[in-house]
């Protein structure tokens, strides 16, 4: 069995542009992509912390050092420039893969520079909850 689990995350990035008349995607500074392990065409979930919108799109690579977080096409209607967003990428993993996976997380400043890089630890080795009956 495989489960969908967090692969990586860019936390609290600032939207730099919302282009409605553009083929859909999210353009992300290449330095952020490389820091967390995202690739061009990866599907991501974007959560807008300003209005609660949550949507999927796919990744375009932005210029390194540009600090760009640009929503394009239909998803651009769900954000405004300056909104803070969380960009999540999920992967399918079996229990063995999950046990050794530590998602990469970039905590970013308001200018989309990296404040801190983290790794989340998997929750393995505990006893499962047993229900009576």
Residue 100 bears catalytic tag: no
Dist CA 43 CA 39 (whole Å):
9
Dist CA 90 CA 19 (whole Å):
25
Dist CA 46 CA 65 (whole Å):
21
Catalytic residue among 22, 58, 66, 80, which?
58
Among 6, 12, 5, smallest CA distance to 106 is for: 12
Catalytic residue among 25, 98, 100, 120, which?
25
State phi, psi for 94 to the nearest 5 degrees: -85, 175
The β-bridge partners of 25 are: 72
Residue 58 bears catalytic tag: yes
Q: How far is CA 34 from the centre of its chain?
A: 12
Which active-site residues does the annotation give? Answer: 25, 58
């Amino acid at each position: 069995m495989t489960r969908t689990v967090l692969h990586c995350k860019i936390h609290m990035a600032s939207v730099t542009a919302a282009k409605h008349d553009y083929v859909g995607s999210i353009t992300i500074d290449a330095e952020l992509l490389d820091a967390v392990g995202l690739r061009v065409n990866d599907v991501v979930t974007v959560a807008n912390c300003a209005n609660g919108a949550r949507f999927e799109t796919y990744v375009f690579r932005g210029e390194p050092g540009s600090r760009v977080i640009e929503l394009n096409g239909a998803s651009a209607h769900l954000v405004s420039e300056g909104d803070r967003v969380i960009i999540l990428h999920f992967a399918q993993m079996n229990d063995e893969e999950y046990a050794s996976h530590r998602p990469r997380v970039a905590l970013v400043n308001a200018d989309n520079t990296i404040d801190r890089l983290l790794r989340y630890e998997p929750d393995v080795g505990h006893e499962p909850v047993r229900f009576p009956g």
